[in-house]
Chains A and B, each alone.
Chain A
Amino acid sequence: MPYGALLIAFAEAVLGEDDARLQQTRSALRQALGDAALVDAAAVVGFFNAIDRVADATGIPLDPERVPQTADLRATLGIDAFTQNRV
């Protein structure tokens, strides 16, 4: 994916605590993709950092239509055992 590694590095830096790393990654993203892309990327990171908390704090289960779609993936990753531990 174009600039995938840079976008991942940006997400990790925003959620991390290393301000120098964030500044460096932000500058690289801005230079590569422009101001509007930096704003849009920061907005997505901000929103998902929030919506993850809504999901985790309310204990919502996976949507029923996603259960069969993700069965193989969940089995491979062992995610079901993880969710069973959230009791």
Chain B
Amino acid sequence: MDPGPYEAAPLPIRADLAAAHRRARDHLARPGTWWSGAERVALMVEARNAPQCKLCRARKEALSPTVISGAHDSLGELSDIAVEVVHRIRTDPGRLTRGWFDDVIRAGLSPERYVEIVSVVAHTVALDTFARGVGLAGLPLPRPSDGAPSRYRPPGAKPGPAWVPWIEPEDLTDAEAGIYPMSRPPANIHRAMSLVPPEVRSFFDLCEHMYFGPLEMRDFEHEFRAITHAQVELLAARVSALNRCFY
């Protein structure tokens, strides 16, 4: 029998991968840094709801998403601006712009709360896309844990070349230990969510088990999966092209 959360899967799921998904699901249900556990689960539910939103579908079809106005088909648990962020990241990430981000911040969402939404949506997409790939239903929603968000803002976080503030390696404190790889300087994708350090730790835990760890990634002498490095990179490149990811 496979370990949870895939005990009933019709094909064997690697134990380390299943355990990473269990940790990610549990992470989503716990109080975060800027959102409560219940709010984080609501963000997860809204991320799952977004692909059915009529406004998002119309925007996706349009030459520019900004020419289509209207209201999202939301589940009513979150503020309008949070719903806008969740839906746009879930359904049309390749056409997000700095101007859109600035409007979101002007509407009252802090960069810290924004980054945590990015993380919750990304975790949800990773888990749900995997499930669709292997032919499973998405994991059942986790039960949110009680407790208050920590509201910890890294003292070294500052504006950089990204839309959101981030932490340079030399500005890390003990509280952010372990968010960057030890073997080499962090890539910008590692820095991207460092304004909310626990989200970096959790997301790159998923990375190690769904893709590669930092050492495995560049170790072309050995294979670590049932598909080769080259096949892994072909998949990654095709997905990123389909998503029109410029990075």
Contact = CB atoms under 8 A, between A and B. Distances in A.
A3 B207 CA distance: 24
Given A1-B230, A11-B242, A49 B118 contact: no
Interface residues of B, number: 65
A59 B163 contact: yes
Interface stretch (B73-81, B131-139, B143-151, B167-175): B131-139
Contacts of A75: none
A48 B163 CA distance: 21
Contacts of B192: 54-55, 58, 60
B246 A79 contact: yes
Contact of A86 (B115, B127, B161, B246): B246
Contacts of B239: 11, 15, 44-45, 48-49, 52
Contacts, number: 208
Contacts of A62: 188, 247
Interface residues of A, number: 52
B68 interface: no
A75 to B, nearest CB: 15
B98 A59 contact: yes
Interface in A7-59: 7-8, 10-12, 14-15, 22-23, 26, 30, 33-59
A62 to B, nearest CB: 7
Contacts of B242: 11-12, 15
B206 interface: yes
Interface in B113-138: 115, 118-119, 121-123, 125-135
Interface of B: 11-14, 17, 89-90, 93-94, 96-99, 101, 115, 118-119, 121-123, 125-135, 161-164, 187-189, 191-193, 203, 206-207, 209-211, 225-228, 230-232, 234-236, 238-240, 242-243, 245-247
11 contacts: A4-B231, A15-B242, A15-B243, A35-B11, A39-B134, A43-B133, A47-B211, A53-B93, A56-B243, A57-B118, A85-B97
